[in-house]
Amino acid sequence: ALLFLTLVYKVFLAYLDAIVSIFKPVARKNIKGQNVLITGSGHGLGREMALRFASEGANLVLVDINQANNEEVRAEILKEHPELKVVAYSVDIRNEPDVEQLAKRCLADLGEIDVLVNNAGIVQCKPFMELAPQLIERTLQVNVLAHMWTIKHFLAPMMKKGRGHIVAISSIAGLIGGKYLTDYCASKFAVVGLMESLEREIHDQGANKGIHLTTICPSCMSTGMFQTFTSRFAWLLPILNAKQVANLIVDAVLENETFAAIPSITLFFHRLSYLLPVKVNLLVQDYLNYGVKPHKTQ
């Protein structure tokens, strides 16, 4: 009985804190001089996040398989912020040994990582029966396993010093299944599950006060990742601009938010999907006509 009453009391305090936070401005943390690592930094959302983190005074580790693009982002940042330390590495983050070497290189060149942003991702966007096994494996390797490898090698130093932040870029496709995105949705659902489970684990180990996790679920963005978008109500479910999304992500990190759906209306549709019968869900999705068309074979 005492345990239950303690639970009720703590739940009440948690709700009270949540209500107060609505009206009380959140104090943003200062990341000036901290080391931020971003995967998939050579283009699109990763590039925009790198630029925004740089504007906050953070040193950067840019990680991308495309070294030419990555170096361009590095040069762009240093031109605007010559006082920062910015390094660009070409790493295949699908391979755990390569990520282990990345961690050692970061420590030697820049020091310990304070903020890890797992952003790199790929999409096939094809009917499931047309997906070759190697394409499915590659999607899961880049979109899921790479998160695990980076967390495995960068979380330990954070735990040791009692401070750090891990950011996972999932997707609205990690909350609601979408047609022609079976492997992609599976990978993004896995990222949400990974971060939720890791949050519980860190809490259980008593390290959650200094270690922060943030999961981001943006909807469709105009980064070139998808060939064709559809949206019957673009005013409600627009195709997002990568720079706007990057700013919202960095804001969420600075405010230590645990989860953010972008735009926030997508979270409403996610929760609604669990309340509606399957047939009704399909009808609503057909009516909204929000999603992507399968990629044309090159």
**Length in residues, the chain:** 298
- In angstroms, the CA 292 to CA 295 distance is 9
Q: 168 near 194, Cβ under 8 Å?
A: yes
Residue 184: active-site member: yes
In sequence order, the β-bridge partners of residue 230 are 291
Mean pLDDT by 10 residues, the chain (298 residues): 80 75 78 98 97 99 98 98 98 98 97 98 94 97 99 96 97 93 97 98 87 95 76 80 96 97 89 87 84 76
pLDDT at 18: 67
pLDDT at 206: 85
- The backbone torsions φ and ψ at residue 35, rounded to the nearest 5 degrees and listed phi first, read -100, 120
Buried b (16+ CB within 10 A) or exposed e, 198-226: bbeebeeeebeeebbbbbbbbbbbebebb
Domains by residue range for the chain, with CATH: 30-292 (3.40.50.720)
pLDDT at 12: 80
pLDDT at 94: 98
Catalytic residue among 15, 184, 274, 287: 184
> Of 88, 48, 100, which Cα lies nearest the Cα of 216?
48
Give alpha helix (H) positions in the chain. 2-23, 44-55, 67-80, 96-109, 133-140, 146-161, 182-204, 242-254, 265-275, 278-288
pLDDT at 133: 97
